[in-house]
């Protein structure tokens, strides 16, 4: 921790210094879920003891671990953007740069835990593909000379990068022998292979990966879908397949599926007619698909409708529906320098702050496992699904892909 502080702040006398939170505990392994009810108070982001949960599900899965690792890596990149959070010589942003270093460290720890004992983790097709994203992303983050929008890379670790790159190659070989079915498995599979192709260091590996993307893209284009979440997964996967293989047919099919998704959208409550219950993972799949469509499908879709769905679905399900259990006020998690311009902040006025969300001490500011609309009323399962919530967290940071790009190019 002391080494991390020294690395991110070379001028501790400038009035901007790192404050190490109390009761910090780094996570080597994350659980698959839990009960986010807080066990003590008062709620204080500078005391991690006040952020601990009651507990709950203590199983571990590859999918939950993979999406958590990707989330940590992507936020580590975010906190490394020079113009946004400064450099070690700056007189602002030291705390955020420190958080980025800790995120990168936790990602490394959790990848090592998975590599050392993969049999401990319950596996699934989506989980294996998400882990390929994590391994490829880690190989890039720890091996790059500089990170995007930055003149340096404070996370540089060549030995770790080489280890994760070799593990990514093995993971890709295993996926080549797999047989994903359904829109979700194929979509995450395509995304995983795209990340691997982008991080691969030789042209042969890239070519082999893109061939698999093309094969799975063809299979996904023929896959029948019924619910909004399944259709969204299909859109997201086809956009990835189309943009990296230069096969416009995939993009045309994606645009057609977007039209079907749009026709099923109900602007009165921000939901889709084919689906009443929305899991945390469904939420990320749908928001991610709309975001990717806005970026890559251009005039082949109704961009105004995409904007309406993007904001309306978020408001309807996360805010009004209660999928977002609680949220702190903006000043609690954003530094004063981040508030000089109106920040992108998605807290709804009626969303309770964590101490008032329930229980004696409150509920953590996380996504619930699911929200269901029936007869005009919402009911919420306030347990926590790590894989679904972390998948959604990644799709949400990729909303502003100008800083953190979730659509790598091989």
Q: What are the CA-CA distances from residue 268 to residues 58, 165, 224, 284, 378 (Å)?
A: 39, 47, 27, 21, 14
Give, as one character, the DSSP assignment of residue 222.
T
Q: Could you give the 3-state DSSP secondary structure of residue 54?
A: strand
Given a contact cutoff of 8 angstroms between Cβ atoms, the answer to whether 318 and 388 are in contact is: no
Residue 374 has a CB neighbour count (10 Å cut-off) of 9
pLDDT at 342: 61
Q: Which residues sit opposite 61 in a β-bridge?
A: 122
Per-residue model confidence (pLDDT) at position 343: 56
Q: In the prediction, which pLDDT does 45 show? A: 86
Annotated domain spans of the chain: 2-400
Q: Which residue, chain included where needed, has tokens 């740069």? A: 97
What integer pLDDT is reported at residue 337 of this predicted model?
79
Tokens of residue 324, six digits: 């977002």
The angle, 0 to 180 degrees and rounded to 10, between the axes of the packed helices 158-176 and 182-199 is 140
CA distance 49 to 26: 12
Residue 65, token pair as written in the block: 């671990």
Contact between residue 233 and residue 261 where contact means Cβ atoms under 8 Å apart: no
pLDDT of residue 132: 98
Rounded Cα distance between 200 and 209, Å, is: 9
Q: Which of 370, 347, 350 shows the shortest CA–CA distance to 283?
A: 370
pLDDT of residue 130: 98
Q: How far apart are CA 275 and CA 283, in angstroms?
A: 12
| Separation of alpha carbons 407 and 390, rounded Å | 17
- Give the burial class of 362: count Cβ atoms within 10 A of its Cβ; 0-12 exposed, 13-18 middle, 19 or more buried: buried
Whole-angstrom distance, CA of residue 124 vs CA of residue 354:
33
* CATH code that applies to domain 2-400: 1.50.10
Query: How far is Cα 60 from Cα 62, in angstroms, rounded to an integer?
Result: 7
Tens digits of pLDDT across the chain (410 residues): 888 899 999 988 898 999 899 998 899 999 999 999 999 999 998 899 999 999 888 999 999 999 999 999 999 999 999 999 999 999 999 999 999 999 999 999 999 999 999 999 999 999 999 999 999 999 999 999 999 999 999 999 999 999 999 999 999 999 999 999 999 999 999 999 999 999 998 999 999 999 999 999 999 999 999 999 999 999 999 999 999 999 999 999 999 999 999 999 999 999 999 999 999 999 999 999 999 999 999 999 999 999 999 999 999 999 999 999 999 887 777 777 776 666 555 678 889 999 999 999 999 999 999 999 999 999 999 999 999 999 999 999 999 888 999 999 99
88-112: string of b/e by CB count within 10 Å (b at 16+)? eebebbbbbbbbbbbbbbbbbbbbe
Phi, psi of 341 (to 5 degrees): -115, 150
Distances from the Cα of 97 to the Cα of 145, 201, 321, angstroms = 17, 28, 34
Q: Report the pLDDT value the prediction gives residue 56, as an integer from 0 to 100.
A: 85
In this predicted structure, what is the pLDDT of residue 346?
63
Beta carbons within 10 angstroms of residue 12's beta carbon: 12
DSSP sequence for 127-195: HHHHHHHHHHHHHHHHH-SS-TT-S--TT--HHHHHHHHHHHHHHHHHHHT----HHHHHHHHHHHHHH
Q: How many residues does the chain have?
A: 410
DSSP-derived letter for residue 304 is H
């Amino acid at each position: 921790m002391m080494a991390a502080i020294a690395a991110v702040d070379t001028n501790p006398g400038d009035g901007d210094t790192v404050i190490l939170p109390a009761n910090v505990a780094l996570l080597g392994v994350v659980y698959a879920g839990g009960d986010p009810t807080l066990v003590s108070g008062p709620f204080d982001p500078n005391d991690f003891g006040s952020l601990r949960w009651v507990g709950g599900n203590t199983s571990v899965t590859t999918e939950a671990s993979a999406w958590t690792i990707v989330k940590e890596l992507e936020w580590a990149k975010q906190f490394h953007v020079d113009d946004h959070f400064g450099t070690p010589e700056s007189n602002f942003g030291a705390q955020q740069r420190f958080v980025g270093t800790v995120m990168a460290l936790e990602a490394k720890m959790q990848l090592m835990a998975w590599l050392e004992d993969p049999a401990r983790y319950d596996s699934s097709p989506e989980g294996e593909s998400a882990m390929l994203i994590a391994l490829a992303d880690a190989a890039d983050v720890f091996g790059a000379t500089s990170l995007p929008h930055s003149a340096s890379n404070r996370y540089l670790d060549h030995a770790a990068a080489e280890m994760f790159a070799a593990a990514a190659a093995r993971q890709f070989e295993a996926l080549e022998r797999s047989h994903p079915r359904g829109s979700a498995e194929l979509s995450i599979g395509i995304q995983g292979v795209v990340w691997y192709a982008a991080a691969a260091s030789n042209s042969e590996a890239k070519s082999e990966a893109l061939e698999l993307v093309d094969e799975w893209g063809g299979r996904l284009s023929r896959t029948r879908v019924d619910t909004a979440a399944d259709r969204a997964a299909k859109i997201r996967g086809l956009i990835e397949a189309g943009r990296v293989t230069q096969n416009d047919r995939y993009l045309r099919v994606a645009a057609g599926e977007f039209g079907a998704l749009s026709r099923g959208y109900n602007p009165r409550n921000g939901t889709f007619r084919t689906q009443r219950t929305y899991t945390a993972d469904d939420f990320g799949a749908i928001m991610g698909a709309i975001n990717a469509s806005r970026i890559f499908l251009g005039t082949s879709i109704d961009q105004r409708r995409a904007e309406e769905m993007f904001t309306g679905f978020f408001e309807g399900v996360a805010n009004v529906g209660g999928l977002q259990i609680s949220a702190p006020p903006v000043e609690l998690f954003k530094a004063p320098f981040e508030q000089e311009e109106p920040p992108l902040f998605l807290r709804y006025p009626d969303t309770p702050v964590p101490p008032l969300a329930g229980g004696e001490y409150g509920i953590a500011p996380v996504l619930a496992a699911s929200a269901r609309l029936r007869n005009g009323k919402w009911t919420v399962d306030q347990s926590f699904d790590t894989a679904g919530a972390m998948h959604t967290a990644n799709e949400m940071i990729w909303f502003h892909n100008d800083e953190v790009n979730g659509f790598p190019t091989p």
